[in-house]
């Protein structure tokens, strides 16, 4: 099966092809036909299954008007809002469909300006409810998506979601996607959806078991030093460093080249010829390190990548699975390394929960660790090296000049080891004990914030049974 079987518009198919999508994933195969038929849907599917396209593509196919809000996608976090918005814009660009991203901490006026020219809003619950309750927007979308409903429940947004639906028209098509189905989510689905079709995409592990997955915790200012130290220690034969932005790719490329690495960047702003040259060099082995954005590396087919480095942890598990899938291919073992700060623990937990496998905590090696490993590698190299005639001639000449044999060996070993200078501070990043303490604090803050948010909502609004009335608004909340 391919995407042409859905009878999508030519402009939509062109965007799908450019995005590198070949065959629909299981959730796309199941959900897209049901959504196109106009049914409400409840889909149990993890982020890494391609669910964004599962709801975005049929919605884009069915949107009829431009510069009027036809669809709303509600997501739990700002990062996911940006990610989903980018994805929908990418698919809808040849249809002339614009998206507006709505989240807290950004200018109201700017977001309202974008909404005026958009067909799709991707929003977090808090800011979206603010816009509705303050009557800054008055919309009647035909399509509404609740993405990662269980995550919104965990973050204490359930009451916000209920109130949001009191402002939305009843004659809408509603789609709910959730990785798990706790009782509260099932109850919500029964109240806000009309005779929904249920889809469950079960999956065990979405990541290759041949890939060892590790993460290292650092402070923000230590990222560069951490990456360089890990490259020195792991000494990968061929690796990819993933970055979030093109600017970051360019900066890291310059940094690594200045440190003596055979590295080049790959991103969407490069000319096609340049990109092809970089990929060709990487495949041939002329490059040790490829620094790339997610989009640039989509569809990159290189079987002998030994390591993948996430300079930042990606926003969602779909990107994570895509990134680390560049290694451990064709039955070979691979290593996936993620560098993160304590502020990114939430993303780490979310990804681990979604992919169904644990990413192991590691501590960044010290200078002594790197030196020790390099000495061992050097000894292995010397032990396996065959002696050639030129070497014999050099040693014999040195002996004739009065050099002692042991002294010759020591000097030669010194010459070799001098090439292996270790840069940076001795200690980079957090120790195991520090990481454990940070996680304990993180979980405690999470529990406290969740309880506080629920208490605050209850005291401020006093329940959600009132009927707001008005055109097309639900009375049950």
Which of 430, 449, 469 terminates a domain? The answer is 430
Residue 120 near residue 70, CB atoms below 8 Å: yes
Same domain? 169 vs 87: yes
Where in the sequence is the domain holding 45, given as residue range(s)? 3-203
Does 77 reside within a domain?
yes
180 and 274 in a common domain:
no
Statement to judge: residues 53 and 161 lie in one domain: yes
The pLDDT tens digits of the residues spanning 7-38 come to 999 999 999 998 888 789 888 999 999 999 99
Distance CA 107, CA 112 (A): 9
- What pLDDT, on the 0 to 100 scale, is given for residue 472? 41
Say if residue 168 is in the same domain as residue 248.
no
Do the bridges between strand 360-362 and strand 99-102 make them parallel or antiparallel, or are there none, so unpaired?
Answer: unpaired
Q: Rounded distance, CA 464 to CA 417, Å?
A: 71
Q: What is the pLDDT of residue 462?
A: 47
Each of the 477 residues of the chain gets a pLDDT tens digit; together they read 889 999 999 999 999 998 888 789 888 999 999 999 999 999 987 655 678 999 999 999 999 877 799 999 999 888 788 889 989 999 999 999 999 999 988 888 999 999 999 999 999 999 999 999 999 999 999 999 999 898 888 788 999 999 999 999 999 999 999 877 888 888 999 999 999 999 987 554 455 678 899 999 999 999 999 999 999 999 999 999 999 999 999 999 999 999 989 999 998 788 878 888 998 899 888 999 999 988 766 657 677 899 999 999 988 777 888 788 888 876 788 999 999 999 999 889 888 887 777 899 999 999 988 888 777 777 777 777 778 878 888 888 888 888 888 887 777 777 766 655 677 788 899 999 999 999 999 888 878 876 766 666 555 544 433 333 333 433 333
Ramachandran angles phi, psi of 407, nearest 5°? -65, -40
Domain identity same for 345 and 287:
yes
In a domain, residue 302? The reply is: yes
Whole-angstrom distance, CA of residue 125 vs CA of residue 138: 16
What CATH code is carried by the domain that includes residue 177? 3.40.50.300
Phi, psi of 24 (to 5 degrees): -65, 145
Instruction: Round to whole Å and give the CA distance between 106 and 110.
Output: 8
140 and 245 part of one domain? no
Strands (E), 54-142: 71-74, 99-102, 120-123
Query: Does 455 map to a domain?
Result: no
* Domain-located, residue 469: no
Count structural domains, the chain: 2
Same domain, 124 and 268: no
Q: Is residue 297 part of a domain?
A: yes
| Domain boundary, last residue among 151, 181, 203 | 203
Overall pTM > 0.75: no
- Domain co-membership, 199 together with 215: no
Query: Quick one: what percent of the chain has pLDDT higher than 70?
Result: 88
Residues 250 and 171 occupy one common structural domain: no
Residue 411 lies in a domain: no
Residue 27: both structure tokens together: 């959730």
User: How confident is the model at residue 453, as a pLDDT?
Assistant: 60
Which of 203, 230, 253 is the last residue before a domain boundary? 203
Across the beta sheet with 173-178, the strand order is: 99-102, 120-123, 71-74, 143-147, 173-178, 41-44, 197-200
CA distance 230 to 216: 10
Structure tokens, 50: 């391609």
Instruction: Say if residue 149 is in the same domain as residue 243.
Output: no
Q: Does residue 92 lie within any of the structural domains?
A: yes
- 142 and 215 fall within a common domain: no
Q: Are residues 16 and 162 in the same domain?
A: yes
Terminal-residue alpha carbon distance, the chain: 42
In a domain, 105, yes or no: yes
């Amino acid at each position: 099966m391919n995407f042409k079987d859905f009878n999508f518009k030519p402009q939509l198919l062109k965007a799908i092809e450019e995005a590198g999508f070949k065959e629909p994933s299981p959730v796309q195969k199941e959900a897209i036909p049901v959504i196109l038929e106009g049914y409400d849907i409840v889909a149990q599917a993890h982020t890494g299954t391609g669910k964004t396209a599962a709801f975005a593509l049929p919605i884009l196919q069915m949107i009829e008007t431009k510069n009027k809000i036809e669809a709303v996608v509600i997501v739990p976090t700002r990062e996911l809002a940006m990610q989903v918005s980018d994805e929908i814009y990418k698919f809808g660009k040849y249809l002339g469909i614009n998206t507006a991203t709505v989240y807290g901490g950004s200018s109201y006026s700017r977001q309202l300006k974008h909404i005026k020219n958009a067909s799709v809003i991707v929003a977090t619950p808090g800011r979206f409810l603010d816009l509705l309750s303050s009557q800054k927007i008055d919309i009647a979308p035909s399509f509404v998506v609740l993405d990662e409903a269980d995550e919104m429940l965990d973050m204490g947004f359930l009451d916000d979601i209920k109130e949001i639906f009191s402002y939305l028209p009843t004659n809408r098509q509603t789609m709910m996607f959730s990785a798990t189905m706790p009782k509260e989510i099932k109850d919500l689905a029964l109240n806000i959806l009309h005779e929904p079709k249920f889809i469950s995409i079960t999956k065990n592990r979405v990541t290759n078991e041949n890939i060892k997955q590790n993460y290292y915790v650092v402070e923000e200012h230590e990222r560069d030093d951490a990456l360089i130290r890990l490259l020195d220690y792991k000494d990968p034969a061929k690796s990819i460093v993933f970055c979030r932005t093109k600017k970051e790719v360019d900066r890291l490329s310059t940094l690594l080249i200045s440190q003596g690495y055979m590295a080049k960047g790959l991103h969407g702003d490069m000319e096609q010829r340049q990109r092809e040259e970089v990929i060709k060099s990487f495949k041939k082995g002329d490059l040790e390190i490829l620094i790339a954005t997610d989009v640039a590396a989509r569809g990159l087919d290189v079987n002998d990548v030994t390591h993948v480095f996430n300079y930042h942890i990606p926003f969602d598990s779909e990107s994570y699975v895509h990134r680390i899938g560049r290694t451990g291919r064709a039955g070979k073992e691979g290593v996936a390394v993620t560098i993160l700060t304590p502020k990114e623990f939430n993303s780490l937990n979310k990804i681990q929960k979604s992919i169904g496998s644990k990413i192991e905590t590691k501590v960044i090696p010290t200078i002594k660790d790197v030196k020790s490993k390099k000495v061992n590698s050097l000894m292995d190299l010397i032990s396996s090296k065959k002696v050639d005639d030129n070497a014999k001639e050099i040693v014999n000449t040195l002996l004739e000049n009065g050099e002692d044999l042991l002294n010759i060996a020591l000097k030669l070993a010194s010459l070799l080891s001098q090439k292996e200078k270790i840069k940076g501070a001795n200690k980079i990043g957090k120790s195991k004990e520090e990481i454990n303490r940070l996680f304990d604090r993180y979980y405690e803050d999470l529990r406290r914030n969740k309880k506080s948010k629920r208490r605050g909502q209850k005291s401020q609004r006093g329940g959600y049974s009132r009927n707001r009335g008005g055109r097309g608004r639900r009375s049950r909340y």
